[in-house]
Structure 1
Amino acid sequence: MKKIISQTLRGCLVSALFLAVTVGSVTAVPKPKSPSQPKPQPQKVSYPVAPVFSAVDLKGKVVGSAQLAGKAYIVNFFASWCPPCRAEIPDMVILQNQYGRKGFTFIGVAVNETEPKIRDFIARNKISYPVVMADDQLVSAFNRYVEGGIHAIPTSFVVNSSGKMTQVITGARSKADFEAFIIDALKKQ
């Protein structure tokens, strides 16, 4: 009887030791780090004119290329459910307040959103610039400026005060990046 218990105990210990070594070797092996994704560089462009567009913002005001003539602006395609979009919004609000009186504005284009949800998002984030709902006409006006069309958000289009599109930016940007784009767009070119 003692022999059976001793053999069973020995078998359990061997199994436990095998399991410990196996688990230890699997967890001790460092996982290869995925290469960090470089931030896509803004695409410098120079089109004679920015896209012609017109939309009604969520306050009922018409926002479009005709109303923005002579102003510098950045059209930012975004969504409230997009983490990179949400990350850049506070900086955009600060910059809108800083440069709004100098002839600049952001225009937010809400993609794949419901109006009530985006209204709540605007209020929670204290967005002071115009926000419009994306529609086929608006998307198609900007799609031709991006190879393959707009395929990621956030995507921003920088238009200078002379009405020329100067940059197409895919991916979130820092406050410093946006400020540099704004200062450049405000220069008469």
Structure 2
Amino acid sequence: MTIRKAMLAAALVITLIAPYPGRVDAATSVAETHVNAAVAPQFSAKSVQGVLLSSQKLAGKAYIVNFFGSWCPYCRKEIPEMVALQEKYEKKGFTFIGMAYKDNEHSMPDFIWEQGINYPVIMADKSILKSFGSHVSGGIASVPLLFAVGRDGRLVAVEPGAQTREDLEKLILKIMQGSAKP
């Protein structure tokens, strides 16, 4: 067996047993002390729905920024859970913000309508990818990927991979316990 064939075989084995796209503990991708001490990534952009959003406008509100792709089956599976949780927690000072990653801006309004998305969706541009990517080793390279921000404006968690409804709800309750008032 040549070295090249051995390397290809090893890569195949790693691909088959790797945890992606399943849940990875935040400590695996981001140092826990870094996440807990970090100020949330700063951004300002107009949503696909036409609303100007920024980290400053969200001050005092708990939110989860979810990087997704309409082409990603794992992301599509999460969206109905996020829609239901948005409905449940929106009036309590929480919101999801979708960040469409490597997606088609022209077809995004139809995707939002088809999925019943009830939270703002932003097309992730270079400045957004840079701001959020600085909190992830290697930058943003795959989806789904979410950033949970507490009411106090601190980054509470970075969660790569698909999340269950239970995981999302636990995270929402955690970030809503921040020190700032809605």
- Please give the range of the TM-score, normalised by the shorter of the 2 chains: 0.7 to 0.9
**Corresponding position of 2:143:** 153
Q: Name the SS for the 1:46 alignment partner.
A: helix
**Contact 2:66–2:146 (CA under 8 A) maintained in structure 1:** yes
- Please say if 1:143 is aligned against 2:133: yes
Q: CA deviation at 1:50?
A: 0.7
Q: CA deviation at 1:36?
A: 7.1
**Corresponding position of 2:23:** 39
* Aligned pairs for 1:32-111 within 5 A: 35=17, 37=19, 39-43=23-27, 44=32, 45-111=35-101
Q: Kindly tell me the number of residue pairs found equivalent between the two proteins.
A: 156
| 82 and 187 in structure 1: CA distance in 2 versus 1, 3 angstrom threshold | same
Q: Deviations over 1:110-145 (max 9, x none)?
A: 011122211111000100000000101111110110
Q: CA deviation at 1:51?
A: 1.2
TM-score computed with the length of structure 2 as normaliser:
0.81
**What letter matches 1:121 in structure 2?**
F
CA distance in 1, matches of 2:118, 2:37: 28
CA distance in 1, matches of 2:113, 2:56: 27
CA distance in 2, matches of 1:76, 1:48: 18
TM-score computed with the length of structure 1 as normaliser:
0.79
Q: CA deviation at 1:70?
A: 0.1
Higher Cα radius of gyration: 1
Q: CA deviation at 1:39?
A: 3.1
**Structure 2 unaligned residues grouped into runs of 5+:** 1-15
- The runs of at least 4 aligned residues of structure 1 exceeding 4 Å deviation read none
Identical pairs, percent: 44
Q: CA deviation at 1:98?
A: 0.3
Q: Name the SS for the 1:74 alignment partner.
A: strand
- Please say if 1:177 is aligned against 2:161: no
Please report the RMSD computed on the Cα atoms of aligned residues, expressed in angstroms.
1.4
